[in-house]
Amino acid sequence: MREERTEMSKDDDRSPPLDLRGADIAESSSKTRNCVTGSGHVTGLNPMEFQAPYPDQVLENVLENVLQFLTSRRDRNAASLVCKSWCRVEALTRSELFIGNCYSVSPRRATARFSRVRAVAIKGRPRFADFNLMPPEWGAHFAPWVAALGSAYPWLEKVYLKRMSVTDEDLKHLAEYFPCFKELVLVCCDGFGTRGLAVIAKKCRQLRVLDLIESEVAESDMDWIGEFPECGMTCLESLIFDCVESPINFEALERLVIRSPSLKKLRLNRFVSIGQLYRLMVRAPQLTHLGTGSFSLAEGVAHGDQEPDYESAFAACKSLVCLSGFREITPDYLSAIYAVCANLTSLNLSYANINAEQLKTVIFHCHKLQTFWVLDSICDEGLQAAAATCKDLRELRVFPIDAREDSEGPVSDVGLRAISEGCRKLQSILYFCQHMTNAAVIAMSNNCPDLEVFRLCIMGRHRPDHVTNEPMDEGFGAIVKNCKKLTRLAVSGLLTDQAFSYIGRYGKLVRTLSVAFAGDSDLGLKYVLEGCPRLQKLEIRDSPFGDAALRSGLHHYYNMRFLWMSSCRLSPQGCREIARALPRLVVEVIRDEADVIRGECEEHIDEPFDILYMYRSLERPRDDAPNFVTILH
Amino acid sequence: MPPDTLSDSPESDVTSAVTFKDTELTLGIPGEPTRSPAGKFCTKRGFIETVDLNLRTSTSKPRGKTHADEVDDKSDDVVSGACKTPASKTQVVGWPPVRSYRKKALESCKYVKVAVDGAPYLRKVDLETYNSYQELLMTLEKMFTCFKIRGNYLGESKVIDPMKEMEYVPTYEDKDGDWMLVGDVPWKMFIESCKRIRLMKSSEAVGLAPRTPPRCTTTT
């Protein structure tokens, strides 16, 4: 058991081992810590709880000085397991707190253990919730966290939240509790609006970073940009709001940019026209990351009326390395960016409906490109062009312009193969397509040995290799076999248990696995649970895995962050067995909201359910679960 | 590249109208009999006839927006019956796994700009909200009420004199960058390939040879 503890992946945020006895360690360490005050000085004993200095204290101080240098979460977790003393000191020196599942530990427990945190990252909802598989209002509220953080870490500087529900009230508290607040990053969050943003803008005088990424921002007529202080320079370095779906006060934004000499990252939303973009760019030629907004004329403006020289504005941005936006692109304007292409390491055209020809004019200049996000409107031909030029490509994402099962499918195995042949350094790929062949996937497994992330989404469910008509087993098998660094895998297409046998046999480093409409029987899931020791996150939908398969993972569930299974062959009884066998696992079954309303008020524990979502936790099951969630025991 | 400028002096119509009469363009899918409804001034078929023709041959159906993620198909995905073969084409909730944020963003990028020769402003339409050419054109007519769009009145046999009245022909730019006459292809194909729409003055539409899908041949 001990060996497995030390092999926990870097995603693991705390050190509790398999049997979670570590919980007791954490408790006792916080008690003894009281006699070493926050300052860590030998002589700084708390007069209220006097204890004679113990022999380890000198060692602890040395340790403290050494452990300051440990930055990796994984290393810190390992260090904290050495002994109580190390655990204590590590807790004192950890300044970045990462909570991979907001329900795995309570705010109180986390803040009690780590007393000197300056930056906090918290993740909430499971990823499959993004695809409307679960009713909203499931949970992941930031509120209890902000309250605890407020009292524990008044010096807090950074907050990073992913898939959390954040309210305007929470944002208000953030601004109030933390006078040194510097960075707020909200990824895939919801529950707040422009009112909350306004408070942040107004009150956080030391704000350097305000990044809103793929978050849902409720509209209101609040002019939040206008709330940034009007006088003097700001310390703003990054302002990302491309996901905000309401217009902004452009004049205020322009003034803000003028007053922000440190601004390096600016990503505008689609309500900023190309004319307005120009005005901002000439004010901020020091930008390194730019999101262009709509990249078309404002409504009501006709093409051809004296237009500014967009090309020169781009040419003036000599430091630009990351370009995105193009939300409502008028392709005619693409030529404006040619001057910066040679320096670009990241290009996101995934909202730009452009064809192969239009892409080619741009991509041929992008020799240094490492990250490329694009729509499949560029077709295989566009991908071939990218493959021919972008020899340094590390990450590719090809999104579907028409995300339906029976749509045209402009990219295919041809594009995938071309990329594999041209971009040998590829590390991460997300590829949506209608048709694929095993041969192309095998080719990629051979050509791109550095692959760490392979996510292939064949949009037609249960679709076989379109040339041989065989399942896609061999393709994915080759990926897990040949790509020795693979940590994340998403499978699709027609897959039998054989594919999972390969994953279990070869996918020894796989941490995240996404499965949909795949497999034949319980064996499939068994192979994976028994074969993949590093598995942390497993999300499965619409696959024929039942209770027996679920049981086969009992030895491993405490090592995982979560398991999601929806529309599989599980029974409430089977899930309850797991809950009883593993008391530190929270086993949630989630039903359709409509069913819950129609049914009776008490727990309909034996009725079929849609989703099983289970995760380890140091706490009792949460008390904020909505009525469509039943926690089994 | 198709002309982008919108303004054009009316005087130019006079000179071009002469050649217009002589050109006698025929439209439509080769193989279909070219009809010349009684009472029509010129052999060029009015727009609406073209539309009718296509509607009969096309399989255009409403795009089934109701199949979008909002529909709860989960009753099909009940615990015991997980492994479905896709017998039907109904969209399944949350599949393909594209975030609704991205889907919404792409919808708005699928809005198509509409320009009218002579008008200083552009409009935008979401083609997916229409089920047929007729619906689209009626909306366009409402948007640009001061411009008469040729052939927009279903059923009426209009005598159109391009010299006297400012008639506009709806044209569009397709995926390949070519300018086509609206109505040539089936509706579904149209919405997939249309990038922007331009209501072109009839007089200028002279030079616009009708293009047809590659396997057909064009006659002028």
Whether A589 has a pLDDT exceeding 50, the answer reads yes
Averaged pLDDT for residues A428-443: 98
Q: Which of A123-132, A253-262, A333-342, A599-608 has the lowest mean pLDDT?
A: A599-608
CB of A544 less than 8 A from some CB of B: yes
Residue predicted with more confidence, A469 or B183: A469
- Residue in chain B closest to A519 (alpha carbons) equals B83
Query: How high is the pLDDT of residue B86?
Result: 42
Q: What's the gap in Å between the CA of A448 and the closest CA on chain B? A: 25
Could you tell me which residues come within 8 angstroms of residue B152 by beta carbon, excluding any fewer than 6 positions away? B47, B48, B137, B138, B141
| Total residue count of chain B as it appears in this document | 220
pLDDT level of residue A605 (50, 70, 90 thresholds): low
How high does pLDDT run on average in chain B? 60
- With a CB cutoff of 8 Å and minimum separation 6, the contacts of A244 are A194, A212, A217, A269
Q: Residue A303, exposed/middle/buried by CB under 10 A (0-12, 13-18, 19+)?
A: middle
Using alpha carbons only, what angle is made at residue A583 by residues A579 and A584, rounded to the nearest 5 degrees? 110
Flag if B93 and A133 touch (Cβ within 8 Å): yes
For the ranges A14-23, A304-313, A520-529, the lowest mean pLDDT is seen at A14-23
Q: CB under 8 Å to A12, separation ≥6 — which residues? A: A73, A74, A77, A100, A536, A561
Using the beta-carbon criterion (under 8 Å), do B86 and A460 form an inter-chain contact?
Answer: yes
Of A399, A567, A568, the CB nearest to B102: A399
**pLDDT tier at A153 (50, 70, 90 boundaries)?**
very high
Tell me the shortest Cα–Cα distance from A268 to chain B, in angstroms. 14
* Rounded Cα–Cα distance for residues A359 and A384 (Å): 11
Q: What are the Cα distances from residue B73, in Å, to A629, B76, B201? A: 20, 6, 48
- Nearest CB neighbour to A516, from listed B95, B100, B175: B95
Is the minimum CB–CB distance between A61 and chain B shorter than 8 Å?
Answer: no
* Mean of per-residue pLDDT scores for chain A: 90
A290-299: per-residue pLDDT in tens?
999 999 988 7
Interface of A with B in 204-223 (CB under 8 A): 214, 216
Q: Does B103 reach chain A within 8 Å, measured CB to CB?
A: yes
What ipTM was reported for this prediction? 0.85
DSSP 8-state class, residue A141: B
Determine, for residues B109 and A352 on separate chains, whether the beta-carbon distance falls below 8 Å. yes
Task: Decide if B101 touches A, using CB distance below 8 A.
Answer: yes
Give the model's pLDDT for residue A612.
97
Please write the tens of the pLDDT for every residue from A334-349: 999 999 999 999 999 9
Strand-pair partners of A428: A395, A453
- Cβ-defined contact of A304 to B4 (cutoff 8 Å): yes
- A306 contact B CB<8A: no
Let me know: does A600 contact A544? Beta carbons within 8 Å.
Answer: no
Distances (CA, A) of A298 to A278, A551, B112: 13, 58, 14
How many Å lie between the alpha carbon of A574 and the closest alpha carbon of chain B? Answer: 12
Q: How far is CA A382 from CA A358, A364, A615, in A?
A: 9, 10, 42
Closest residue, chain B, to A271 (C-alpha): B108
A516 contacts in chain B (CB < 8 Å) = 95, 97
Give the angle subtended at the CA of B123 by the CAs of B118 and B129, to the nearest 5°: 135
B115 interaction partners in chain A (CB closer than 8 Å)? 302
A218 Cα to chain B: minimum distance (Å): 13
Exposure letters B108-120 (e unless 16+ CB within 10 A, then b): ebbebbbbbbbbe
Q: How many CB pairs under 8 A join A and B?
A: 139
What residues of B are in contact with residue A297 (Cβ under 8 Å)? 122
Per the structure block, which two tokens stand in for A390? 């972008």
Nearest CA in chain A to B109: A328
Higher pLDDT, A221 or B84: A221
List pLDDT tens digits, range A224-269: 999 999 999 999 999 999 999 999 999 999 999 999 999 999 999 9
Is residue A324 pLDDT above 70, yes or no? yes
Among the listed ranges A367-371, A465-469, B115-119, which one has the minimum average pLDDT value? B115-119
Q: Residue B13 pLDDT > 60, yes or no? A: no
Q: Rounded CA gap, A564 and A359, in Å?
A: 38
Longest dimension (CA), chain A: 82
DSSP, residue by residue, chain B? ---------THHHHHHHHHHHHH----S-TTSPPP--TT-SSSSPPHHHHHHHHHHH-------GGGSTTS--GGGG-GGG------S-PPPTT-S---HHHHHHHHHHTEEEEEETT-S--EEEEGGG-SSHHHHHHHHHHHTTTSEETT-STT------TTTS-EEEEEEE-TTS-EEETTSS-HHHHHHH--EEEEEETTGGGG------TTS----
Question: In chain A, which residue's Cα lies nearest the Cα of B108?
Answer: A328
